[in-house]
Structure 1
């Protein structure tokens, strides 16, 4: 994602860049997942490169199945600064364990699907 450090984007541009709807982006703000975003002289939201990087992280956490409550907890810890590094790492380690377990389940499911596809393909010959 290429955005200059001095460049800002509207809510629509930011949402499009990170693959969210503007509704979801505003919801993230309301839920406290996103720190208050800067505004222009007309009061419209203006997202920075730092804001976009944060949103990309949130979308990846969500895509990997992290519950919103854990995302909210992470955002709270991140705002508290360096003293919360260990807690943030522990939160990510727990989530990684859940992701790895889910990946193992999906691999088992894929094995069954591949077996069925192979089995049904034999009847086509």
Structure 2
């Protein structure tokens, strides 16, 4: 699919209500420490604490000793936040989205609008990157032709 086709396409209407993601532990036994989550996600423990402090993470359960205990649901949320980060969405917008999620189903329209706006930004970035790739390919081709040694005739 070309960038133009992506830009003109509408978001997929495919609904996948069942999570097919695999987790390290089954639900009910999904008690991950912050260091396990850091290893699994590639995020630092500092970043995970910061996400919680700014309201980007929902409330994380604690053990009887006060240590954070993350669940599969938390891992799924962090995976989604990682995708939002890749879109270039500002952290403030991610926090707004998280607040809307916590506010409940009545915020579906606002969440959809925020994600649709982000989608437009992503499509525009893809187009910019495609243009940049075209320029790079042209320059690479130019250099490849310039480095070819002239054929010698005997």
TM-score (norm 2): 0.78
Which residue pairs with 1:69 in the alignment? 92
CA distance in 2, matches of 1:16, 1:56: 13
CA distance in 2, matches of 1:89, 1:26: 27
Which residue pairs with 2:27 in the alignment? 5
CA distance in 2, matches of 1:9, 1:124: 56
Structure with the bigger percentage of helix:
1
CA distance in 1, matches of 2:41, 2:142: 41
Which residue pairs with 2:138 in the alignment? 115
Structure 2 unaligned regions, length at least 5: 1-21, 149-154
Bigger Rg, structure 1 or 2: 2
CA distance in 2, matches of 1:32, 1:16: 22
CA distance in 2, matches of 1:96, 1:55: 19
CA distance in 2, matches of 1:105, 1:42: 50
Of the candidates 123, 132, 139, which is equivalent to residue 100 of structure 1?
123
CA distance in 2, matches of 1:39, 1:113: 51
TM-score (norm 1): 0.96
Shift of 1:40: 0.9
Of the candidates 29, 36, 42, which is equivalent to residue 59 of structure 2?
36
Corresponding position: 1:89 with 2:116: no
CA distance in 2, matches of 1:115, 1:12: 46
Aligned residues: 125
CA distance in 2, matches of 1:102, 1:118: 24
Shift of 1:19: 2.1
Structure 1 unaligned regions, length at least 5: none
Shift of 1:102: 0.6
CA distance in 1, matches of 2:47, 2:82: 10
CA distance in 2, matches of 1:27, 1:107: 34
